[in-house]
Amino acid sequence: MLVYLVIALLLALGFYTLLFKKNLIKMIIGIALIENAVNMFLISLGYVSDGYAPIYTIAPAETWSSMVLPTPQALTLTAIVIGLASTAVMLSLAVMVFKNYKTLDSSKLGGILSE
Amino acid sequence: MMSRIVQQTARVVFPLAALFSFYVIIHGHLTPGGGFQGGVILASAVALVLVAYGHKKIKSYRPTLKMMFSLFSFTMILYFSSHFLHHSLEQWIPLAQAPGRNVGELFSAGGIPLMSFFVGLEVMIGLVIILILVRRAN
Amino acid sequence: MKSFVAGMIVLILFAFFAVVAMQLHPLGYPQATEMDDYFISNAQEETGANNVVAAVVFDYRGFDTMGEATVLFAAVTSVLMIFWGRS
């Protein structure tokens, strides 16, 4: 149960960083924190007590029936790559914002109508 | 653009890192690893050389980026076709007949090493394109 | 004043997630494992791979990997489009 409490703490800190900071880069770091916490939660759902890694030639022959579940690991691999792709797009947008407006403060960047 | 020591060290380290990443990609069906992990290792090795030598050494950005993007699309088409046909082509890939128990041989598992090779190549090209673009914009 | 409100919101969020986390099943005893039992017992004969995770990612759930390759392609194309300015 300690695992779930740590993940809850990471989620709360990620939401705090996303809501209460003004710099664009810090907001992007908050989003990355939330994504990492969710990936960790997904992996921890597939743990079997006293289980071995799901590879046939590494686990001893008697424990082939109590291996760790392989499906959450496969889904987490996909989720990590998708998180990487979205963070890359967000960071390149932040670079373009800095080039055009010379500031990264989200309270000074008005809306579209304050041109 | 870093000093001479860093440049020579990156030149020595890069072939070893590339060899290790090819090992991780090809042994994807025997040890932990597979396509994506090996691709990221290869991209980080190329990023080391890019940081050590500076981005001004890349001549003529536009043809380089166009060629890399076309390679990226071609690798993705290869991966899609090998994904749809890897069950039918199992008999034609030599030495790698799939079904049956094996004790950890390299030539096994049909079309899975082929698919992970294409995925690793695709991840490497994509990440290197993103790195060159973000560095050049300043 | 502002840091007090921020601290209260962090505590409320953490309490909400912790109350939910306390009612999950204990760590190490997953429920509903019929699909994974089939994967573990039949992966070596049907695919010939020793690594069950590689067989699941490329063979049993191959369409998820195909969708993720498409997401990677879309991300690289968007970054290329954003930075394709002059020179």
Identify the pLDDT of residue C47.
Answer: 81
- Which tokens sit at C44? 């070596």
Identify the pLDDT of residue B101.
Answer: 62
Asked if B85 has any chain C CB less than 8 Å from its own CB, the reply is no
Q: Rounded to whole angstroms, how far apart are CA atoms A5 and B57?
A: 49
Mean pLDDT of all residues in C9-30: 90
Residue B7: pLDDT band (50, 70, 90) is very high
- b/e string for B79-116 if b means 16 or more Cβ within 10 A? beebbeebeeebeeeeebebeeebeeeeebbbbbbbbb
CB count within 10 Å of CB B2 equals 12
Kindly report, residue by residue over B23-67, the tens digit of the pLDDT: 999 998 888 988 899 999 999 999 999 999 887 887 777 888 889
Q: Which residue of C has its CA nearest to A49?
A: C28
Q: Where are the domains of chain C?
A: 2-82
Q: Which domain holds residue B70?
A: 4-136
Identify the pLDDT of residue B118.
Answer: 94
Nearest-10 crossing angle of helices C34-46, A71-101? 100
Is residue B72 pLDDT above 60, yes or no?
yes
Q: Do A1 and C26 count as a contact with CB atoms less than 8 A apart? A: yes
Residue C50: pLDDT band (50, 70, 90) is confident
Asked if A57 has any chain B CB less than 8 Å from its own CB, the reply is yes
Q: Where are the domains of chain A?
A: 2-49+67-103
How much is the mean pLDDT over chain A? Answer: 89
Report residue B37 CA to chain centroid gap. Answer: 9
Full-prediction pTM beyond 0.80? yes
Is residue A86 pLDDT above 90, yes or no?
yes
Residue B98: pLDDT band (50, 70, 90) is low
CB count within 10 Å of CB A3 equals 16
Asked if B126 has any chain C CB less than 8 Å from its own CB, the reply is yes
Asked if A102 has any chain B CB less than 8 Å from its own CB, the reply is no
Is residue B102 pLDDT above 70, yes or no?
no
Q: Rounded to whole angstroms, how far apart are CA atoms B59 and B6?
A: 21
**Which of B24, B29, B65, B66 to probe by mutation at the C interface, max C CB count within 10 Å?**
B29
What 3-state class would DSSP assign to C51?
strand
Number of separate domains in chain B: 1
- ipTM comes to 0.86
**Fold for the domain defined by A2-49+67-103:** Helix Hairpins (1.10.287)
**Mind spelling out the 3-state secondary structure of B5-50?**
HHHHHHHHHHHHHHHHHHHHHHCCCCCCCCHHHHHHHHHHHHHHHH
Nearest to C13 among A12, A49, A64 (CB): A12
